Amino acid sequence: MSENRLEVRKTYKLLMNGAFPRSESGRTYEVVDAEGTFIANVAQASRKDLRDAVVAARAAQAKWWSQSAYNRGQVIYRLAEMAESRHDEIAEAVEVCEGVKSKEARKSVSRGIDRMVWYAGWTDKITQVFGGANPVAGPFFNFSLPVPSGVVAAIAHPALSFEGIIDMVFGPVAAGNAVVLLASTERPIPAVLLGEMSAVSDFPGGVLNILTGQVEELAPVMASHEDIDGFDVGHAPEAERAALISASAGSIKRVFEGHGNDEATAMRRMRTFIETSTVWHTKGQ
């Protein structure tokens, strides 16, 4: 192959309902690497794109939750397999976007994939760990089931472009939610790659939706959108967080403000987007 072959560049689009549309607005924005070199023109999602993503997520969530927990675990594990096989590609994207050394990028991707596997194992444990039977003082069988909040929106970690989004995507998804992720504005490529992989790994379209664009433009729309049940604002810009939480109160959203990627924070996030549904049934002859 000739040394001076012209590279075939990739177009980075949105992930919505299992498909890869451009923004309905036709807008793109320029993404550069850590040194400022042009990487790509990335789709710049609009309010309407967000709206469409939420519609897709709402429809997909019911399907996702109706699958068996075993099945959901398999699907997430399948995605981890895909990610592993494209480890080099993701690591390269992380390296370019974050400007870290290759070795560090590879480690970060490995940690992300391992965390994905961790979540794959959660799907069929959540009910047992968070739910249970309650010994009420009366002739009733009473049990509590953890159920997903529904549609969760998340603002991606601005710096940790791959590893940093795993928790915010797969915590809610493992618990049965559908997610609309707004990728890091500056470093969206690894998130887009994750989206591409998810589309070929048995996820029902719409369970995972990834938008690229501007946080200032889309985050307030997420906060005020009534059909979003939960909102992860842990990595929203500090200055805007209070306003986002306040706007989230309009529809009494569950808001997650944590921002570590330790296990305790991961558990707290998962609990935030889980509801306890308690069923009473009479016991009699």
Partner 1 sequence: MESLHSQLGGLQYDAAPESAAIANIQKEYGLFINGRFTSPADHKTFSTINPATEETLSMIALADTKDVDAAVQSAKRAYEKVWSKTTGAQRAKYLYRIARLIQERSREFAVTETLDNGKPIRETRDIDVPLAAAHFFYYAGWADKLSHAGFGQDPQPLGVAGQIIPWNFPLLMAAWKLAPALAAGNTCVLKPAETTPLTALLLAEVLQQAELPEGVVNIITGDGTTGVALVEHPDVNKIAFTGSTGVGRMIQQRIAGSGKHLTLELGGKGANIVFEDAPIDEVVEGIIDGIFFNQGHVCCAGSRLLVQESIAEDVLRRLMRRVEQLRVGDPMDKNTDVGAINSAEQLARITELTAAGEGEGATRLTSTCVLPSKGYWFAPTVFTNVSQSHRIAREEIFGPVLSMLTFRTPEEAVQKANNTNYGLACGVWSEKGSRTLWVAERLRAGVIWANTYNKFDPTSPFGGVRESGFGREGGRQGLEAYLNV
Partner 2 sequence: MLRLVTPESSGIQIPVRKNLPVFLTESGLRTELKKLSGVDAVGAEARVAKLSTRSLKKETKKSAINLAISMVDLTTLEGADTAGRVSSLCSKALRPDANDLTAPSVAAVCVYPDMVATARGVIGTSSVQVASVATAFPSGRASLAVKLLDTKEAVDAGADEIDMVIDRGAFLSGNLFKVYEEIVAVKEACGSAHLKVILETGELVTYDNVRRASWLAMLGGADFIKTSTGKVGVNATLPVALVMLEAVRDFAEEYGEVVGVKVAGGIRTTKDALKYLVVVNETVGATWLTPDYFRFGASSLLNDLLLQRSKQQTGNYARPDRFSGD
Binding residues for partner 2, rule: CB under 8 A, are: 138-140, 282-285
Q: Please, what is the minimum distance in Å from the beta carbon of residue 243 to partner 1?
A: 7
The answer to whether the beta carbons of residues 73 and 120 sit under 8 Å apart is yes
Residue 36 or 139 having the CB closest to partner 2: 139
Collapsing DSSP to helix, strand or coil, 27 comes out as coil
Residue 264 within binding range of partner 1, rule CB under 8 A: yes
Residue 36 within binding range of partner 1, rule CB under 8 A: no
Residue 20 or 118 having the CB closest to partner 1: 118
Q: Please, what is the minimum distance in Å from the beta carbon of residue 49 to partner 1?
A: 24
**Segment contacting partner 1 by CB under 8 A, of 73-81, 138-146, 164-172, 186-194:** 138-146
Q: Please, what is the minimum distance in Å from the beta carbon of residue 277 to partner 2?
A: 21
The CA dihedral of 81, 55, 165, 23, to the nearest 10 degrees, is 100
Q: How many CA atoms lie within 13 A of 51 on its CB side?
A: 5
In three state form, how does the secondary structure of 164-208 look? HHHHHHHHHHHCCCEEEEECCCCCCHHHHHHHHHHHCCCCCCCCE
Give one word for 11, left, alpha or beta, with left for phi > 0 and alpha for psi -120 to 50: beta
Pick from 60, 259, 18: nearest CA to 176: 60
Residue 51 within binding range of partner 1, rule CB under 8 A: no
- What are the residues binding partner 1 (CB under 8 A)? 129-130, 132, 134-138, 140, 142, 144, 147, 149, 226, 229, 241-246, 248-252, 254, 257, 264, 267-268, 271, 275-282
